[in-house]
């Protein structure tokens, strides 16, 4: 499940107009965070694979976090 925090973390890397949010997968810009989340959840119906992208990105973040925790003394 993609959470708002996942969207915010991914979008911190992208410059967008202030007060807007960008889907990092398809680069669409939305005026509200809730619209980005709805877009991601329904992306396959819109012809995009944004949900797959965010799920894969989240899995990679978890894998990286586990590797960092294992490397810590």
- Quote the pLDDT of residue 27: 86
Rounded CA-CA distance 22/20 in Å is: 7
Where are the strands (E) in 20-69, listed by range? 21-22, 29-30
Q: What is the per-residue pLDDT for 73? A: 72
pLDDT at 9: 77
pLDDT of 13: 67
Question: 2-54: per-residue pLDDT in tens?
Answer: 777 877 777 766 677 788 888 888 888 899 989 999 999 998 888 889 989 88
Give the model confidence (pLDDT) of 52-62 as tens digits.
Answer: 988 888 898 88
**Cβ-based neighbour number of residue 21 at 10 Å:** 23
Q: Alpha-carbon distance 39 to 5, whole Å?
A: 15
* Both tokens assigned to 64: 């990286």
Say what the pTM is: 0.66
């Amino acid at each position: 499940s993609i959470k708002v925090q996942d969207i915010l973390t991914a979008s911190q890397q992208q410059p967008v107009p202030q007060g807007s949010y960008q889907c990092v997968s398809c680069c669409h810009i939305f005026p509200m965070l809730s619209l980005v989340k709805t877009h991601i959840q329904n992306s396959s119906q819109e012809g995009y694979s944004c949900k797959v992208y965010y799920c894969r990105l989240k899995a990679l973040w978890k894998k990286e976090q586990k590797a960092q925790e294992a490397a810590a003394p």
